[in-house]
Amino acid sequence: MQRRLRAADIDFGAIRTDLGLSEDFGAAAQEQAQNATDRLADSRTDRTDLALVTIDPPGSVDLDQAVHIISDGDGFVVHYAIADVAALVPPEGPLDQETRRRGQTVYFPDGNVPLHPRPLSENIGSLLPDQTRPAVLWRITVDSAGEPTSVDVHRASVRSVARLDYATVQRDADTGRLHPSIAALPAFGELRSRLSISRGAIELGLPEQEVVREPGGDWQLVVQPRTRADMWNSQVSLLTGMCAGQMMLEAKTGLLRTLPDARPEDVDKLRASASALDVPWAQGVSAGAFLAGLDPAAPSTLALMSDATTLLRGSDYLAMLGEIPPDTVTGHGGIAGVYAHVTAPLRRLADRFATEVCLALASGESIPPWVRTALPTLPDVMRSSSSVAGKADRAGLDLAEAMLLSSRVGESFTATVLHGKRGNRHAQVFISDPAVFGGCLGDPPEGTRIQVRLTEADPHEPTVVFTAVP
């Protein structure tokens, strides 16, 4: 019988300590968050008439975005309200300085280490339902081809009317009962998704592991299904980020999220893998379109998606304050366009500053000096904090995998082979129940389903190793 871990069995706090993460913001920063008020209240329009809704994972309280979308002839009108964090954080004060040190919220299975103190990120700054909140409101019109035709952004007071989650939105879409504020979201999302694939965007369908705690306190390793509603909602954020990025690139001022185009040799390697797995890839079809057309149930798909991660290497931030040197990467290869982070300022530092640039550009005003001064420092801050967040995510999963499987050494599982043995590196496999990635001894063929035996699960390393069963 499978042993389930109790809450006390996994100490994620040790990982936080190892990474130097703490929720202690210091007295001055904590006081500023506790007493935060809208310092820009006089510059807002009242848009509490707009019936916005939020769509987030269940239980989320740091709500950055709220959406309202309607059909407009053959196109759409999108309103996207983003928490106005800059209005609540005095520039260059104790709280601002502390958030610049942190860079972003770091997530763990048992909670998070927030970018901002919780009185701000989970209360006064959060777009909670039935509360009037300061926001930056984007209004974007989209034509029948999915292309933006007009963009406006300004400060507003908004009021969310409902807090929804992805599963609820998907269920309501399937049963024809979507909230009126997002009745047009599926059509918009599908249109924008088709457009992104036609541009050459690359989206990977790899399983997303999560360590979740059940109501009774037990821990489980699961793959959370990605619904079409997740994709529809992400298309709103992507559209906004692309509009913001284009505004800043044209002005040569701001902060872009960048990613080099996939290297031809990496595309060739992926094509070779497809050929080896007998998966047809027609000439002239982009890597993104090829991946989007794969059968999600085929074991070869998981292997090819894993191989395709090499196409998305080199993500970075680009600060611009005038001239851009030749050969500088300004686009985002995964999105196949120009892109900026502007939709999650409660959880990511870059968004607050990029949003301020967009507001200034849209109004024809000067970019605030505190923003211009900070821009060149932000890429390093975001690189560092992203590294920490990645380590935290991997360390939490590694620990949970090893502990969950520590009592099951010797058992057999059905696994999908993501990579065969490569030099001194073990083959890599994925088992779905529980959801675990691990090294595998032997030389199993890539893109196949095989039986493996768990030969090592050491919580102290932590490590998990399987062996292919002949």
The encoded tokens of residue 310 equal 């090499």
Query: For residue 7, what pLDDT is reported?
Result: 52
SS3 169: helix
Mean pLDDT, residues 335-357: 98
Query: How far does CA 468 lie from the centroid of its chain?
Result: 34
Let me know how many helices (H) and strands (E) the chain has, helices first: 13, 17
Answer whether residue 167 shows pLDDT above 60: yes
Lowest mean pLDDT among 74-78, 216-220, 280-284: 216-220
The encoded tokens of residue 446 equal 């890539």
Contact criterion met (CB below 8 Å) for 241 and 373: no
Answer whether residue 4 shows pLDDT above 70: no
List the one residue out of 101, 116, 23, 4 whose CA is nearest residue 63: 116
Contact criterion met (CB below 8 Å) for 465 and 455: yes
Query: For residue 314, what pLDDT is reported?
Result: 96
Mean pLDDT, residues 131-139: 98
Mean pLDDT, residues 274-287: 95
Answer whether residue 470 shows pLDDT above 90: no
Residues whose CB falls within 8 Å of the CB of residue 404, separated by 6 or more in sequence, listed in order: 5, 219, 220, 221, 434, 436
- pLDDT band, very low/low/confident/very high, at 225 (cuts 50, 70, 90): confident
What distances in angstroms separate CA 274 from CA 144, 325, 378, 437, one per listed residue?
A: 35, 38, 39, 22
Query: Per-residue pLDDT tens for 447-461?
Result: 999 999 999 999 989
Query: How far does CA 196 lie from the centroid of its chain?
Result: 17
Answer whether residue 290 shows pLDDT above 70: yes
- pLDDT band, very low/low/confident/very high, at 389 (cuts 50, 70, 90): very high
Q: How many CA atoms lie within 13 Å of 297's alpha carbon, on the beta-carbon side?
A: 0
Query: For residue 206, what pLDDT is reported?
Result: 83
SS3 389: helix
- pLDDT band, very low/low/confident/very high, at 5 (cuts 50, 70, 90): low
Lowest mean pLDDT among 88-102, 144-158, 214-228, 351-365: 214-228
Does an H or E element contain 16, and which? helix 13-18
- pLDDT band, very low/low/confident/very high, at 285 (cuts 50, 70, 90): very high
**What is the spatial distance between Cα 392 and Cα 21, in angstroms, rounded to a whole number?**
10
Q: Would you tell me how many other CB atoms lie within 10 Å of the CB of residue 102?
A: 20
Does an H or E element contain 419, and which? strand 412-419
Answer whether residue 371 shows pLDDT above 80: yes
Lowest mean pLDDT among 205-209, 229-233, 386-390: 205-209
Backbone phi, psi, residue 272, to 5°? -65, -40
The encoded tokens of residue 153 equal 């952004």
Answer whether residue 2 shows pLDDT above 50: no
Q: Would you tell me how many other CB atoms lie within 10 Å of the CB of residue 414?
A: 12
Query: How far does CA 128 lie from the centroid of its chain?
Result: 20
Pairwise pLDDT comparison (49 vs 59), residue with the higher score: 49
The strand ranges marked E within 335-378 are none
Query: Per-residue pLDDT tens for 79-112?
Result: 999 999 999 999 999 999 999 999 999 999 999 9
